[in-house]
């Protein structure tokens, strides 16, 4: 069964209706603890602004696909991630839309993290942890008192 690939044409003027469901946008706004209750007009304005922002992101992703001269009709996740990485206005989305990582790279990163944690545990057992001496190493490196020295209570 083929997917419905017909584009949704957004009107150039605000007509009073939104493509995104207004009720769902209101639920998302209510779920955010930083924002208090908002009116219907404010929710509608946020919905329209979200649609305009998504349209801009998709246009930039389409421009990236055209620049790479890839004959595709559909925009994929990696196209959006490339647009976020290349377009200066979208730099704030780098953490939200990271570039896709292959399975081999992911396994390599996990192995590196395990090696680092093993190295950290060796450092804890050894001398210095994050530039500070641990109590064990301070006591071990303390000079031994001479036999004729006076006893001092610690």
pLDDT (0 to 100) of residue 130: 58
Phi/psi at 131 (5° precision): 80, 5
Domain ranges of the chain: 22-93, 103-140
pLDDT band, very low/low/confident/very high, at 53 (cuts 50, 70, 90):
very high
pLDDT at residue 42 tops 80: yes
pLDDT (0 to 100) of residue 72: 78
Pick the CATH number of 22-93 from 3.20.20.110, 2.20.25.650, 3.10.310.30, 1.10.20.10: 1.10.20.10
Dump pLDDT digits (tens) for 96-134: 888 888 888 888 988 888 888 877 666 555 555 555 666
Look over the chain and give the mean of its residue pLDDT values, rounded to a whole number: 80
pLDDT (0 to 100) of residue 55: 92
pLDDT at residue 142 tops 60: yes
29 touches 46 (CB < 8 A): yes
Question: 83 by DSSP, 3-state: which?
Answer: helix
Left (φ > 0), alpha (ψ -120 to 50) or beta: where does 146 sit? Answer: beta
pLDDT (0 to 100) of residue 18: 83
Q: How far apart are the first and last CA of the chain?
A: 81
105 touches 112 (CB < 8 A): no
pLDDT at residue 137 tops 90: no
Structure tokens at 62: 């389409």
pLDDT at residue 36 tops 90: no
């Amino acid at each position: 069964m083929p997917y419905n690939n017909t584009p949704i044409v957004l009107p150039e003027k605000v007509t009073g209706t939104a493509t995104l469901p207004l009720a769902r946008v209101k639920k998302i706004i209510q779920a955010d603890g930083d924002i208090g209750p908002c009116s219907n007009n404010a929710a509608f304005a946020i919905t329209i602004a979200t649609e305009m922002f998504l349209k801009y992101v998709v246009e930039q992703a389409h421009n990236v696909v055209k620049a790479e001269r890839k004959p595709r009709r559909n925009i994929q996740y990696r196209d959006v991630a490339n647009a976020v990485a290349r377009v200066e206005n979208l730099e704030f989305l780098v953490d939200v839309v990271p570039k896709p990582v292959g399975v081999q790279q992911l396994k390599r990163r996990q192995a590196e993290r395990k090696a680092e944690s093993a190295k950290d545990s060796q450092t804890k057992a050894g001398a210095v942890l994050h530039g500070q001496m641990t109590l064990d190493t301070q006591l071990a490196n303390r000079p031994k008192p001479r036999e004729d020295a006076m006893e001092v209570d610690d």
